[in-house]
Structure 1
Amino acid sequence: MGEKKRKAEVKPIFVFGKKNYKFMFIGLAVIALGFILMAGGGSDDPHVFNPDIFSWRRIRLAPALVLIGFGIQIYAILLNPDKK
């Protein structure tokens, strides 16, 4: 009855390492930037056509950034955090 309870330190176990999460946040930021660049280009008046919707930024750059961001996410998932 006189035993002291010892509190064992419980460390949370994460699925990925610090390096993986760093690349995941970078990939998420690149994807968000791609979607931000894709936004806009609409017209307030439905009877007026705005050719800005077909700009190089919205057709080429933004989707490329989104795909690159997904590639970074896949790399972050497959990255071995123990390997240096």
Structure 2
Amino acid sequence: MGEKKQKEAAKSVFVFGKKNYKFMFIGLAIIALGFILMSGGGSDDPNVFNPEIFNFRRIRLAPMLILVGLGIQVYAILLNPDKK
């Protein structure tokens, strides 16, 4: 009888629930999308300036997506999975 109680007490419990992991993956996807949107725009020739690096997508949209993704990650960590 004592062994059964020890096995129940030793049962592993996850810190995060299914809802937490879902929000974490959504946040990770948004962060990855932000980095993908930020990439590119360089010039093949180092002596030629390409003004494409200063467009709206790389300067405003991509960093904002990364910050939103980080905010979702913080929310996913602080979310209580047991609360209904």
Partner of 1:47: 47
Gaps of 5+ in 1: 1-5
User: Deviation of residue 13 (structure 1)?
Assistant: 2.3
* TM-score normalised by structure 2 residue count: 0.86
Gaps of 5+ in 2: none
Provide the aligned C-alpha RMSD in A. 1.7
* Deviates further, 9-18 or 56-65: 9-18
Larger radius of gyration: 1
User: 1:10-52: CA deviations, max 9, x gaps?
Assistant: 8642110000000000000000000000000000000111000
Partner of 1:3: none
Count of residue pairs brought into register by the alignment? 79
Amino acid at match of 1:38: M
Partner of 1:33: 33
- Select the structure that is richer in helix: 2
